[in-house]
Amino acid sequence: MVGATFLWSIAGVVTRHLEQARSFEVTFWRSVFTLASLLVLLPAVRGRNALAPLLRGGHALWLSGVCWSVMFTAFMVGITLMPVANVLVTMASGPLLTALVARVFIGHRIAPRTGMAIAVAGLGIAWMFGTQVRSVPLAGTLVALCVPLAAAVNWTVVQHAQRHGESVDLMPAVLIGAVISSLATLPLALPFAASGHDLLLLAFLGLVQLAVPCLLVVRCGRVLKAPEMALLGLLEVIFGILLAWWGAGERPGPAVLTGGALVIGALVFNELLGWREQT
């Protein structure tokens, strides 16, 4: 799981070294290379019937795929619009937003500790963006928020389906997400401007930063409990900020560090208490 979070975290620093590809073209190529990687890796790992769930998958599988496509697209577009640290800290609020969405749509009870964590994390996000309102574009902020919101909807869809006896296989859903993201961003990516250097980096992201860690996380989910995975997942924020600082000179400002500390601290506090209640 630590390895998966490290691989996820390289997107920001690698993107900063692109020469000509920008915005939707970056998203398009990464999604295409992710799709190509999964079409090779899934049969290699799961055998000939790896893609069979696509044929018998229900509405939940395809809704999950749509959510994955939003996450793929919004993340890469967000990275091109504002600093890596801002995007990663915003993404860290995902588990707490999930609790809110699940409460509204499927009636999940929110524990008092989670309600408090949501309030603190919201304060952290507001502080981070409120103090940078002139330097960080509003469009970038809204795009970045789409990532944890789509993740929250995705988890809620999966949970609702499981309640009604329909299991959702994560990897085919990721594959569907890559297809939808590729098709949706193709018209916006034209005319292509990526250099050969850019395509190599984006192929690297598609395989190493997205396809491989997704496979790893599915394996981890069989052994680790949800709080363990949530806590270890926070390493992506730390790794990503440090890599962007070291490899691209993106030094996070005081507002990002303060807001990030509030968001991550709230999530750590909530998950540790939840873990303690389960043991």
Enter the pTM of the model. 0.85
pLDDT at residue 179 greater than cutoff 90 = yes
What's the rounded mean pLDDT across residues 31-48? 90
In this prediction, residue 19 has a pLDDT band, given cuts at 50, 70 and 90, of: very high
pLDDT at 34: 95
What's the rounded mean pLDDT across residues 89-104? 79
* Token couple for 131: 């103090």
In this prediction, residue 135 has a pLDDT band, given cuts at 50, 70 and 90, of: low
Q: In the chain, what is the greatest distance between 2 CA atoms, to the nearest angstrom?
A: 55
pLDDT at residue 25 greater than cutoff 90 = yes
> What percent of the chain shows pLDDT beyond 90?
33
pLDDT at 169: 76
State how far the Cα of 94 lies from the Cα of 168, in Å rounded to an integer: 20
pLDDT at residue 24 greater than cutoff 80 = yes
- Phi, psi dihedrals of residue 21, rounded to the nearest 5°: -65, 140
258-268 pLDDT, tens per residue?
Answer: 888 888 888 78
State how far the Cα of 230 lies from the Cα of 138, in Å rounded to an integer: 28
218-236 pLDDT, tens per residue?
Answer: 788 778 776 677 777 878 8
Comparing CA positions, the residue from 216, 239, 207, 225 lying closest to residue 37 is 207
> What percent of the chain shows pLDDT beyond 70?
96
97-132 pLDDT, tens per residue?
Answer: 877 887 777 777 777 887 788 788 778 877 776 766
The string of DSSP letters for 207-226 reads IIIIIHHHHHHHHHTTTS-H
pLDDT at 279: 64
Looking at per-residue confidence, does 36 or 279 come out higher?
36
What's the rounded mean pLDDT across residues 32-39? 94
Give the mean pLDDT of the chain.
85
